Amino acid sequence: MDFSPIFENYPLFLEGLVNTTKLVVSALAIGLLIAVPLAILRTSRNPLVNGPVWAFTYFFRGTPLLVQIFMIYYGLGQLQFVIELSQDWTFLRDAYWYALLAFTLNTAAYTTEIIRGAIEGTPYGEVEAARACGMSKSQTYRRVILPSAFRRALPAYSNEVIFMLHGSVLASVITIVDLLGAARIINSRYLAPYEAFLSVAAIYLCFTFLIVGGFKLLENRWFAHLRPREQTTGKKQTQPA
CATH number at residue 175: 1.10.3720.10
Asked whether residue 237 is domain-assigned, the answer is: no
Asked whether residue 240 is domain-assigned, the answer is: no
Structural domain containing residue 176? 4-124+131-224
Asked whether residue 238 is domain-assigned, the answer is: no
pLDDT tens for 69-107 read 998 888 876 766 666 666 655 556 778 888 999 999 999
pLDDT tens for 14-50 read 999 999 999 999 999 999 999 999 999 999 889 999 9
- For residue 239, pLDDT over 60 is answered with no
What are the phi and psi torsion angles at 127 (to 5°)?
A: -65, -40
pTM for the model stands at 0.85
Asked whether residue 64 is domain-assigned, the answer is: yes
Mean pLDDT along residues 127-148: 85
Asked whether residue 104 is domain-assigned, the answer is: yes
At 225 the pLDDT is: 62
Asked whether residue 231 is domain-assigned, the answer is: no
pLDDT tens for 175-218 read 888 999 999 998 888 888 888 999 999 999 999 999 999 999 98
Asked whether residue 233 is domain-assigned, the answer is: no
Asked whether residue 87 is domain-assigned, the answer is: yes
At 227 the pLDDT is: 63
Concatenate the DSSP letters of all residues of 97-115 into one string: HHHHHHHHHHHHHHHHHHH
At 68 the pLDDT is: 93
As for how many domains the chain has, the answer is: 1
